[in-house]
Amino acid sequence: MAQILFCLAVSAGLVEDSLDVYRDFFPGHNAIPMDKVVNAYVRRIEGRTSGQVITVYDNS
């Protein structure tokens, strides 16, 4: 039986849920809402693409 391999990658910045702990390590970064990160993982898992990185950021 053939084996199918997928490369699933999501690159997120500083997530709002961890802001209190990691704020000092990410000076000048805007925090990303957790729902944006979750949606990126859902897109990655349920989508049909492989080998691409979904980057999640907030440039506001």
pTM greater than the 0.75 cutoff: no
Tell me the CA end-to-end span of the chain in Å, nearest whole number. 48
The pair of three-digit structure tokens given for residue 18, joined into one six-digit string: 């961890």
pLDDT score, position 52: 80
Break the chain into its structural domains and give their ranges.
Answer: 9-56
pLDDT at 24 over 90: yes
pLDDT at 59 over 70: no
pLDDT score, position 41: 86
More reliable by pLDDT, 21 or 7: 21
Residue pair 37/9 in contact (Cβ under 8 Å)? The answer is: no
Beta bridge partners, 32, equal 15
